[in-house]
Each structure stands twice: as structure tokens, then as C-alpha cells.
Amino acid sequence: MADALDSGPLQPRVEIRGICKHYGAGDTRVDALVDIELTVHGGETVGLRGPSGSGKSTLLNVIGCVTEPSSGWMQLDGEPVFDGHWLRRDLRKLRLEKIGFIFQTHNLLPFLDATENVAEAMELAGIPARQARARAEALLDYLGVSKRRHAMPEALSGGEAQRVAIARALANSPRIILADEPTAPLDSQRAGAVMDLLRRIAVDQQAAVFVVTHDETIFDRFDRLLQFRDGRFEGDAALPGVLAGA
């Protein structure tokens, strides 16, 4: 289900210049991110890998406007949002407008069925209930779980629940999707299926998709793979086979 796009293909969705994040001061200072420079376009699926504490989750939280950088500049979907300080007061609204989050656990509300879980994200953004439900059902169909639209989270398999969580992340047509270990609870076959979905979403929605992962079985699904160590990029590898559609 591709949304109508308001900009052409390969538009920068995330632009970062000199982003740093540190905690503490003096001898206790910890540099979580050091002079990060990054541009990611619509249609790209980017993997973030590295040891625990290397900075990958911190970068995800900075892009998600959850963690405030210590310095630097950042633009999301064409809008400058950070330049030494946040340029928007209402970061919650910014996240609702621009960003979809997918987590290691699906975090579905246990008292709502699949459709209601997806619709809830839209209703929080002010979309009327009937319109939200119609889009929720369309998204579940797009992700291949329309037959489970009335199922409660406890009745869903791990793969089904993650697809519903992805539908929820897509609810407000974000141009940036941030996924933190989305395949960790899945076996290799289901993990590959979820990553194939995320790649398709990146292209269909012209979104920039970021995935923090330790799962080597899905590395071939990324357009680029960023290696982190000690808050810095150790490598930024383009994967030609993926870009060519292999």
C-alpha cells in the first residue's frame, strides 16, 4: 500500500552533521557519539551494528528525537530539527508526524485487537476513528495479516505480532522508520521475512529505514551497513548485491 508521495525519489530523509552526544564531565565523561556525519535517502534500508555500548542505539534515539545531542546539526525529512538545541518545542508531535518506531518486543496493547492497536496510533495524532480504522485495516492487508485483524495480541504468533507492530509504525505515513532489534525474538526464516517487508516499505513509502541489529543472518538485506565502535563509525559499507536487487 504505497502512499502518495509529496517529493521525488531519493530525497534525503535524514541529514546529520557533527552530531555528538556525551554524558558526564571531566574524568567521568563518556562519549556516546563522536562527530557523526550521515545522509540517508528515501528508499534506503540501513543497518546499524556494533558491540553493546558502541553508540548505535544512541544514534537511533537521536534520530527519533528521544535523546538530545550535545552538539551538531540534524535535519529530518527536509526540516531542520536540531542546531545546538531543539528547533521545535513539541517533539512528541514531530515524532508522530515524521517517525515510526519498531521495537524488539511488539509492545501491542493487550486489551486492543490488531486493528485497534494500529488505529490507536492514528487517533493519538487526531485522525477520526472511522478513518483510522479503515487505514489500519488497509495496512494489515498490505502486511499480509488482514485475516488476523480481530485477533488479540496474545493470540498472535511472534511473526504476526511483529507485522502488526510494523503496521502501527506505518500508521501516520512516516518518512523515517527506526527499528531496534526487530528480528531478535524471531527465527531466521521469520526474521528474513520481516526484513524483506522493511525493505519493501522503504521503497514503497520512500522512507529511510534504520535497523539496529546483531543478527548476521539479515545483513544481506541492507542497502548499507554502518559499523559502530566507541561512538564512531568504523565503516559504512554499501552492499551492491542488495542495491541491485539480488
CATH of the domain at 231: 3.40.50.300
Predicted confidence at residue 7, as pLDDT, reads 46
89 belongs to a structural domain: yes
134 belongs to a structural domain: no
135 belongs to a structural domain: no
80 belongs to a structural domain: yes
Domain residues for 70? Answer: 12-107+175-243
Q: What's the structural domain count of the chain?
A: 1
2 belongs to a structural domain: no
3 belongs to a structural domain: no
133 belongs to a structural domain: no
DSSP 139-179: HHHHTT-GGGTT--GGGS-HHHHHHHHHHHHTTT--SEEEE
Indicate the length of the chain as a whole number: 246
* pLDDT, tens digit, 9 for 90 and up, residues 27-72: 889 999 999 999 999 999 999 998 888 889 999 999 999 999 999 9
* pLDDT, tens digit, 9 for 90 and up, residues 208-218: 999 998 888 88
35 belongs to a structural domain: yes
pTM: 0.85
